[in-house]
Structure 1
């Protein structure tokens, strides 16, 4: 199966990986800027998000990413990931270090982090709302939780659209098939890595960002004092500039 994707531009390859409350449209605010800066930009929808349906057989997100790169003829890529997509980017860089030129992680998630009671409660509230058919309330819970104080109404509307779509896509199959986990050691992800955390993010993710930067061999942590969990939506132009600056640095090297 080929996951839904878009490609634009020419030059060094950059792959954008979305958060689990969004889909590939979360990168609208950076898409043109990255292309115009001289990169071949790719963005995709993971299974169960955007225009990619849920899986009907066992699968791995990391295998999906490798197959996408193979299909596009990309041997080496810079990965940019937000939240869940940041976790996938770091894991892919550990699994296939020879294929990853750099990492830029925005408030990344983690497969090994032990969630706080508050985060567990949040997840349980979301599941309860979704399972009881109260999708609008679940969407608003996600908007209120994950967007920081600088998010405008356009950003909120976009998250509402993407999150609602994800719920509907994921509720469609009669049986849920969860991805196969591939065990990786992030210490094998040797590419230069810039990890951003948001000062207004949920405490769990603030800790994950710091810890991820510490475990990555070439990791550097920077805090965005204005950001919540989705800075690419909260200040699109500023994040575009940050991404382009890091890419220019690592590709020049």
Structure 2
């Protein structure tokens, strides 16, 4: 299955944007134009069970879906930008297929081995409780409140609410399907890497990026004092600028 996607821009170096699992590909609305104007061919994808991609009906792997999408588009080498759960997918792809990734931007990324503290465990427990009670609206509101930092206004909160509720509805209707897991060593990543975290996010995600910075050769850290878990939505123009600058500094330009 080729996951749902859209493309903006011309024939420049390709950038694939992978969304947080609180959202879908619409979370990148504030970055697409700036990346395209910088000369990139911008691809946004909905992972399975999000946005316009149907939920899985058999075992699957998100990084394999990314490989299939890129093959269908004739893209041999790409820059990957992923947020949270989408960051974990981007990281896995970059570790399994390092020769195919020219730059890697990870925003408040998740990763294998994330150790939840009391706050994150409490969130997951409350979310499960609400969903088991059939309160999708309540679980949605919990996610909106939890994952957006103080910079997010009512319009952004409404957008995240819409994306998250849709994902819940699609996934609950489909039922559980096991994912296929692969061993993927972050030390195998060869692409220039940027690890972004937010001061208003759960500390576990800062710990993940700190750990990855010690494993990925040459990785650069950036901690944003204004950001929660979703900086691309909280300050879209600033996030767009930092991504454009990172890709330029990485050499992922018209010659990338």
TM-score normalized with structure 1 length: 0.97
> Which residue does the alignment assign to 1:214?
214
Shift in Å at residue 214 of structure 1? Answer: 2.1
Question: Any idea what SS the aligned residue of 2:49 has?
Answer: coil
| Aligned counterpart, 1:60 | 61
Deviation of 1:188 after TM superposition, in Å, equals: 0.1
- Report the Cα offset of residue 61 of structure 1: 0.7
Distance 1:113 1:238 in 2: 27
- State how many pairs are aligned: 252
Alpha-carbon RMSD: 1.1
How far, CA to CA, are the matches of 1:129 and 1:95 in structure 2? Answer: 36
Structure 1 segment 162-241 matched on structure 2, within 5 A: 162-173=163-174, 175-241=175-241
Q: Distance in 2 between matches of 1:178 and 1:134?
A: 24
Q: Name the CA distance, whole Å, in 1 between partners of 2:117 and 2:209.
A: 15
Task: Determine the structure 2 residue equivalent to 1:41.
Answer: 42
Other-structure match for 1:50: 51
Deviations 1:191-229 (CA, angstroms, capped at 9, x unpaired): 100111101111111211222222111211110110000
* CA deviation map 1:108-132 (0-9, x unaligned): 0012122113212211110110121
TM-score, normalised to structure 2, is 0.96
Whole-angstrom CA distance in 2 between matches of 1:13 and 1:184 = 23
The residue matched to 1:93 in structure 2 has which SS? helix
Name the SS of the counterpart of 1:172 in structure 2. Answer: helix
Partner deviation per Cα, 1:91-120 (whole Å, 9 max, x = no partner):
110000000000011100012122113212
Q: Who is 1:6 aligned against?
A: 6
The Cα shift of 1:80 comes to 0.4
- Cα distance in 1 for partners of 2:65, 2:138 equals 32
Aligned-partner Cα distance in 2 for 1:130–1:37: 42
| Separation (CA, whole Å) in 2 of partners of 1:71 and 1:63 | 12
- Structure 1, gaps ≥5 residues long: none
The equivalent of 1:95 in structure 2 is 96
